Chains A and B, each alone.
Chain A
Amino acid sequence: AQSVSQHNHHVILSEAASLELGCNYSYGGTVNLFWYVQYPGQHLQLLLKYFSGDPLVKGIKGFEAEFIKSKFSFNLRKPSVQWSDTAEYFCAVNLNRDDKIIFGKGTQLHILP
């Protein structure tokens, strides 16, 4: 069965530090990949997505992610984080021939002012 692994459960950074959150998935077929963000007390919002084309995807709020097919990875990056980026981040995968969207367990990001 498809699965999504997020390597870091809890990340603490200072403002202006660079961020990289790891995400790996287990399925070898064609996939669509997503990163979602959940700010405290709120619902999930889509940050960015990849389904084809340029493997470097840019999303909202300065986030980007790179799809590396050979590594089954879709890591999220941001060159300089802000205190307002404090949130939980979820990687998700959807098989191209399926409607299920499966999520990783999430990474809690805490930015120190």
Chain B
Amino acid sequence: NAGVTQTPKFQVLKTGQSMTLQCAQDMNHNSMYWYRQDPGMGLRLIYYSASEGTTDKGEVPNGYNVSRLNKREFSLRLESAAPSQTSVYFCASSVQAVGAGAFFGQGTRLTVV
């Protein structure tokens, strides 16, 4: 039972390059999230998806796009990477129920040079 799987685990990009971070969950959860974690800043919500076919902006959406491809998959795209997007990215999912809490993937460490 894999839970939440993110790929890749590590990535180095040059400024201006694009890439997509992949996330898949096998727990039949409705809600999925993308966070970035930076030292001293905690986790900041980039985008989330309450259900298949819907996405909403979080606290720091600029420079990112997302796609909820189906119930299992929620991808995060950087169209033109910037050094400020160097971070650790976490995908999470949760049952759309009161107080359910979220399950997290292992994270993607992205460096933009």
Residues of chain A touching chain B, judged by Cβ–Cβ distance below 8 Å, are 6, 9, 32, 34, 36, 42-46, 49-52, 90, 94, 96, 99-106
Contacts and interface: CB of A to CB of B under 8 A. Distances in A.
23 contacts: A9-B40, A32-B99, A42-B106, A43-B90, A43-B104, A44-B43, A46-B101, A46-B103, A49-B99, A96-B98, A99-B50, A99-B56, A99-B96, A100-B58, A101-B33, A101-B48, A101-B92, A101-B94, A101-B102, A103-B45, A105-B40, A105-B42, A106-B42
Contact of B42 (A34, A45, A49, A103): A103
Interface residues of B, number: 27
B90 to A, nearest CB: 7
Contacts of A32: 98-99
Nearest to A102: B45
Contact of B43 (A45, A90, A94, A96): A90
B105 A43 contact: yes
B45 A100 contact: yes
A99 B101 CA distance: 10
Given A104-B42, A105-B41, A44 B90 contact: yes
B35 interface: yes
B76 to A, nearest CB: 16
Nearest to B97: A51
Nearest to A1: B59
A34 B99 CA distance: 8
A99 B33 CA distance: 9
Given A43-B90, A100-B48, A101-B33, A90 B98 contact: no
Contacts of B50: 99
A44 B48 contact: no
